[in-house]
Structure 1
Amino acid sequence: MPRQVPIMQLFLASTALLALLRPHPVEGAVIKRQTGNVNDVTLDIVNAQLAPDGFTRSTIVANGTYPGPLIKAKKGDTLRVTLNNKLSDPTMRRSTSLDFDGVFFNTDNSFDEGTPFVTTCPLGPNTSFTYTVPLEEQTGTFWYHSQLSVQYVDGLRGPLIIYDPEDPQADLYDVDDESTIIQVGDWWHNSTLPLLEGYEATGIVPVSDSGTVNGAGRFNGGPAVPFSVVNVEAGKRYRFRIINQSARNVFTLSFDQHNLTIIEADGIAVQPLAVSQLEILAGQRYSVVLEANQPVDNYWLNAPYVGGSPDRNLNQNATLSRGILRYAGAPEADPTAPMTLGPDTGVLVEANLRPLVADPPPEPDVNITLNLVVTDGKAIWNVNNVSYLPPQTPTLIKILNGATNASDFNVTENTFVLPANATVQIDFPPNDDDEAHPFHLHGSNFWVTKSNSSDVVNTVNPIKRDVVGVGAAGTTLRFRTDNPGPWFFHCHIFWHMQAGLATVMASGLDEIRDEVHPSAEWEALCPAYNALPADEQ
C-alpha cells in the first residue's frame, strides 16, 4: 500500500484512569512446549486503552499490554506464532503484519517472514495467520513488532529471547531471565494516522512525547507514573538484555555507580567490553553484565534519549526517561541522587567491539554504493535517487512468477538482484545528516567493516550485527547471500522508512523458485487483503 494514508480524525483520549498510571505487568505469551522443540505462541492483536506515561490513549498491542508479552525459546527450537487480528478502532490501521527482528527465516519458509509487500500481504481484521519461525543456530536478544507502515508506534512491540543452554559466556553472569530484560521505547500521545498525515504535509518527522523503560514513562506536566524497577541482590551478576524498540529515538543507558560489560550485540556474542554508558539506536539490542557490587540502595537507571528537537514537543523531558535499580533490602523509594543524564565517560564506540569468535569477511563479489538523500522541504527520502514505494504485488510473488532481473520490478521497489552464495559489500558514503540512520537487514546479518563511529577499516575481526548506524562518517558492511530471498533493507527510523528510505536485496532468484513452497494460508493473504475496503487495510 502506498505510504499516503486517508485523512483520519485525530484521536485523543481525554481521561486517565488511576489504574493505568502504574506500569502494566507484561503477561507471558501463550506458549505450549511440544515434542520436536516446537513452541506454540498465540498473540491477540487488540486495541486497548493504556497510559504508559499517564496519558490515556487507544493503542494497538499484543495480548493487551505494552510492551507485548515475552516470547522465549532456546537454540534449535521452532516458533509457531499464531497472530489473531482483533483490531477494531477505525482511527488507526486495522490490518497488521508481524516482523521478528533479527531472526533469519530460511529459504524454504521465507514467505512467512512478515514484511508487507516484500514477502507477504498484511493480515486483515478478524482473521488469523500462523508464522513458522525456525530458529536453527541463532541465539541472543531479539524482538517483534508490526512491520506495516508505522503501526508499531501505536504500541505493537515486544521481546523475543533465544536462550543458549551452552552459552560460552555463561560464567560471566549469574542471572538471565525475564527480570533482566530492559526495553526502552519512544511513546506518542497521538495515533499514527494523524502523525503520518502531518509528516507528509510538512516534511517534519514527528517528535515523541516521552520515553519508556519497560513500559513506564513520564512527560512534562504529566502524572508521576511510578518508575519501572529492576531488582537485584548484592553480590550477583546480571545479564541485562537491552532492546531499543523505538521508531525514532536514540537512547543512552547507564546505571549510577555501576559499570557495564557488553557481551552481545544484535544476537552475536562479542568479546567482553567494559563501558559506563551505552548508546543504542532504534532496533539495536545489547546484552550487558552488571555486577551488583555497590551498597544496598536504590540507583537510577538512566535512559535519556534524542530524536528531533524537543522544541517541537514540549512534553519531552529526557531526564524523566529512567528506571530504578533496586537492591534487595533497599526501601521501596526513588533514589535520593539527582536525576541526571548519567556519566559522560566510558561511552561505547561501536568500532571497539570484537566478535567472541573471529569470523573474517570474504572479499566482495558485488559492490554497491547507497547514497541517502532527503528532498528539501518534503517528507521524501531517496536511496540512489529512488524513493521506495511498496508494490501492490509483493516482491516474492513476482519472483515465484518468474521475475529474473531488476527490470522485472517497479523502479520504486528499489530492488537489487544479487547472485546466490556471493559476498556483497555495501558502502554508505559520509553524509551531512545530523542523525545516524539505523539500517536493518532482514534475512541475515552483516560484517561492519567500517563503523560510523570510526575511520578505521577492519576486515580481520569486525563485528556482525543486523542494525548499523549510517551517518556523517560513512559506513561499510558486507553480507553473504547464502539465504536466498527478497530481504528488506531499510532505515529503522520507521518515519524515514515510510518516506522511502528502503531497498530490497533479492538474492538467488532461481534458488527461491526451486526451494520456496508457500502454504495455502499464505497464498490467501493477498486476495483477502486486496478485497478489504480502504478503512480496513
Structure 2
Amino acid sequence: MKATLAALCCLVTLAQGASIIKNWHVGWVHNVNPDGLHPRRGIALNGHFPPQPLSVNSNDYVAINFTNSFGDGSPSTLHGHGIYYNNTNYYDGAAGIVQCPVPDGHSFHYELLNSPKSPSSAEKQIGTYWIHGHYKGQYIDGLRLPFIIHNADGETYQYDDDYTVALADWYHHVHADVLKNKYYKPNGTYPTADAGLMYFVHTRANQTAKNLEGFNENATLPFEPGKTYRIRVVNMSAASLFNFWIEGHDMKIIEVDGEDVHPFPVDQLQVSIGQRYSVLVKSHNTTKHNWKIHANLVPEMFDMYKPTDPIKLNLTSTLSYGNPHAKMGAGRGTVDSYELFDDTQLEPVKKIPMVKPDMSVNRIATMPSYSDNIHRGTFDNKTFVAPLTPTLLTMMSESTSYIMNPATYGPNTNAVVAPHLQMIELVMINFSDDMHPMHMHGSKFQVVNRATDLRSKDPKANPPIKEGQKNPMRRDTVVLPPGGAVTIRFRADNPGAWFLHCHMNFHLDVGMAMVVVQAPNMAAKRFDIPSYVKEQCKMQHMPVSGNAGGIPHSSINFGNLTKAPLPEP
C-alpha cells in the first residue's frame, strides 16, 4: 500500500521559515555522458541528471516526497548526509538500519530539516551537506546532489555570493555491473574510475539553487572583480580523494562538514569522500586574466591504478572574470605531494571543550581475504551483514535487557550500544593498506587524536592522546589513515540506530561498517514511527520486530539471517 503523502506533509506550520516540500521521482535516464567519453544510463531525479541541487534556510521546514519510479523492480532510499534527524531517526534513509528500502512504484515521506517531531531545542543545522541514495551504491550512478543550509540568523562570515563545487567520480558501467565483473570475483579489486567530474552550482541564499552548465573543461565559474565569494566544495565520489585549488587566488577555510571554523588559510583543499569544506576567496580587482580551477584525483586511492590508465587525474575548469579577451593567468598548476591534511588544526567557532569519556570502544579495521577469495572490510574481524529486521525496529520492539545488548542486533553488525547522554570514545585503528573516510550518521564528533603511523616512535606520527583540549575539531566524516588511527568522541544525545561506515563505497559494499545504537530505551519512548515504514518492510516479506533475524527475545538465535562468509585460515 502506498504511503499517503499529502496528509503527512501538509500539517506543518513554521512561524518564521518557509515550508519546502519537494516531490522527487527517482528513475533511470539514458545516454548520460558527463565526461564526454561514453554514454550510458544514469539515475536522475524528476528526469534531471545531475539532479537539481537544494538550497534552504536553517529555519525552513524541508521534506521530500520520494517516489521510486525505476520501473525495473529496484528498491531505493534517500539519505541526508550529515543531517541529525533528531527524534526522527526513521527518516535517515540507511537501508537495513532504519528502514527497508522503498519498493519500486511506492513512495516514502522524508523530513530532513525542522520536523515538528524534532524538539524545538534541537540544534539548528547550517552549512554544506549533500543528499544521496543509500541503497546498493545507487548514488554512484547519479543519485546525489548538494544540499545547502544557509544560516537564517546571519552567516558568521560576510561574502557577496555563494557557489558550490561538486566533485565526483564516474564509471562507464553501472555500479552493479562494476561490482559483479570487477570486484565480486576471486582476488578482485575495486577498479579505477573511468573519469573524475567537477561541476558548479549557484547556491546563493534566498534564491533557487541551480547547476551551471558543463563538466570539467566545459564548466565555468563566474567571478566579478572586487568581491568575496564563499566556495563550498563537496566530494560525492565512490572511491576518489581530491585536491582542489584555484590558480592565483588565496583560500581560507571557514566551514567543515556543517561546522563553522575560525579562518584557516590553505593553498589547496584535500577533500575525501563525503567531506565538505567552505572557503572564502577574494576576487581580483581586474578582468585582465581568467584562471584555472584544479581538482586532482589522488592516485593512491585506486588499488589498481597504472599511469597508462585512461583516467585523467588532473581536472581543470575555468574561473572567468567575464572578459572574452582575457588571457589565462599563470599560477601553480601542479601538486608536489598528496600528504594527508591535518584537520585537527581547525578550530570551531562554537566552543565545546573535550571531556573524559564514560565509555571507550576500540575497533580494528582490516581488509582480509575471505573464503570466497574476496577482500572484505571488517571491524574486529567481523564483516558487516545487514540485519533482516532494521536495527531501529529491533530497538522499538524488544525489551530493555535485549535492546541494551549489542548481540541482539546481529553477529555481524559490529553494534556499539551507547547509553543516553554518555560521552562515547571510539578508537578506530586501521591495519589495512587503504585510507578509509569514516562517516557517522546522526552526529558530529570531536576528532581528539590522529596517528598516521602506529609503529612510529615519532610523537608527530603517533602522538599520545591529549586530554583537556579546549575546543577540538568537530565533523561527521574523518579520514582513517593506512597504518594509523583516529580517536573520536561524541555525546549520545540523539537516540536512534546510526550507521557508521567507510564512505569509500566499494569498502562499504564488502562490509566495512558498524551501527552505533544511541539511547535505545529513549528511542522506544520518544519515537512515533510512521506506519508506512513497517508496511513497506512487510511488502518485501521482511520482519518488523524481534532481533536482527526477526526472532523475538533472543540474542543467540537469528533464524534466516544471512551468515557471513568465513575468513581464510
**Shorter-chain TM-score: which interval?**
0.7 to 0.9
Q: Does 1:184 align with 2:167?
A: yes
Q: Does 1:437 align with 2:436?
A: yes
Check conservation: 1:368, 1:426, Cα contact below 8 A.
yes
Q: Does 1:322 align with 2:322?
A: no
Aligned to 1:255: 246
Instruction: Write out per-residue CA displacement over residues 397-421 of structure 1, whole angstroms, 9 at most, x where no aligned residue.
Output: 1111114212212101221112110
2:527 to 495, 516, 520: 516
Shift in Å, 1:67? 3.0
User: TM-score normalized by structure 2?
Assistant: 0.80
Aligned to 1:220: none
> Matched residue of 2:218: which SS?
coil
Instruction: Write out per-residue CA displacement over residues 340-388 of structure 1, whole angstroms, 9 at most, x where no aligned residue.
Output: 4357699953121111132112210110111001113523111011100
Shift in Å, 1:228? 1.2
Aligned to 2:207: none
> Matched residue of 2:412: which SS?
helix
Aligned to 2:419: 419
For 2:151, give the aligned amino acid. D
Check conservation: 1:298, 1:330, Cα contact below 8 A.
no
Shift in Å, 1:74? 1.1
2:191 to 195, 198, 206: 206
Check conservation: 2:217, 2:318, Cα contact below 8 A.
no
Check conservation: 1:277, 1:345, Cα contact below 8 A.
no
Q: Does 1:87 align with 2:70?
A: yes
Please give the alpha-carbon distance, in whole angstroms, between the structure 2 residues aligned to 1:379 and 1:46: 31
Check conservation: 1:277, 1:344, Cα contact below 8 A.
no
Aligned to 1:451: 450
Please give the alpha-carbon distance, in whole angstroms, between the structure 2 residues aligned to 1:259 and 1:225: 21
- Residues 1:488 and 1:338: Cα distance change in structure 2 (over 3 Å): same
Q: Does 1:57 align with 2:40?
A: yes
1:246 to 227, 237, 244: 237
Aligned to 1:104: 84
Check conservation: 1:32, 1:40, Cα contact below 8 A.
no
Q: Does 1:305 align with 2:286?
A: no
Deviates more, 1:162-171 or 1:414-423: 162-171
Check conservation: 2:247, 2:333, Cα contact below 8 A.
no
Instruction: Write out per-residue CA displacement over residues 111-152 of structure 1, whole angstroms, 9 at most, x where no aligned residue.
Output: 121110000011111111110123451100000001102111
User: TM-score normalized by structure 1?
Assistant: 0.85
Q: Does 1:118 align with 2:109?
A: no
1:365 to 358, 361, 369: 358
Please give the alpha-carbon distance, in whole angstroms, between the structure 2 residues aligned to 1:208 and 1:364: 40
Aligned to 2:547: none
For 1:279, give the aligned amino acid. Q
Please give the alpha-carbon distance, in whole angstroms, between the structure 1 residues aligned to 2:237 and 2:217: 21
Deviates more, 1:514-523 or 1:234-243: 514-523
For 2:24, give the aligned amino acid. L
Instruction: Write out per-residue CA displacement over residues 184-210 of structure 1, whole angstroms, 9 at most, x where no aligned residue.
Output: 001110111111112111330121111
1:462 to 463, 467, 472: 472
Check conservation: 1:371, 1:384, Cα contact below 8 A.
yes
Check conservation: 1:207, 1:313, Cα contact below 8 A.
no
For 1:300, give the aligned amino acid. K
- Residues 1:507 and 1:315: Cα distance change in structure 2 (over 3 Å): same
Gapped runs of 5+ residues in structure 2?
1-8, 115-122, 202-213, 453-459, 543-569
Please give the alpha-carbon distance, in whole angstroms, between the structure 1 residues aligned to 2:151 and 2:70: 35
For 2:273, give the aligned amino acid. A
Check conservation: 1:449, 1:462, Cα contact below 8 A.
yes
Aligned to 2:107: 128
For 2:85, give the aligned amino acid. F
2:276 to 268, 285, 299: 285
- Residues 1:342 and 1:131: Cα distance change in structure 2 (over 3 Å): same
State the superposition RMSD in angstroms. Answer: 2.6
Q: Percent identity?
A: 26
Instruction: Write out per-residue CA displacement over residues 79-119 of structure 1, whole angstroms, 9 at most, x where no aligned residue.
Output: 1111111113x5xx721100100000012x21121110000
For 1:60, give the aligned amino acid. I
Gapped runs of 5+ residues in structure 1?
1-30, 217-222, 532-537
1:500 to 507, 511, 530: 511
Q: Does 1:234 align with 2:225?
A: yes
Please give the alpha-carbon distance, in whole angstroms, between the structure 1 residues aligned to 2:492 and 2:384: 22
Please give the alpha-carbon distance, in whole angstroms, between the structure 2 residues aligned to 1:430 and 1:497: 15
For 1:460, give the aligned amino acid. K
1:156 to 143, 158, 163: 143
- Residues 1:248 and 1:266: Cα distance change in structure 2 (over 3 Å): same
Instruction: Write out per-residue CA displacement over residues 229-275 of structure 1, whole angstroms, 9 at most, x where no aligned residue.
Output: 11010110100111000111000000011110000000000010001
Aligned to 1:10: none
Please give the alpha-carbon distance, in whole angstroms, between the structure 2 residues aligned to 1:524 and 1:428: 37
Aligned to 1:42: 23
For 2:46, give the aligned amino acid. N
Instruction: Write out per-residue CA displacement over residues 481-504 of structure 1, whole angstroms, 9 at most, x where no aligned residue.
Output: 001111000001111011110000
Please give the alpha-carbon distance, in whole angstroms, between the structure 1 residues aligned to 2:41 and 2:95: 24
Aligned to 1:169: 156
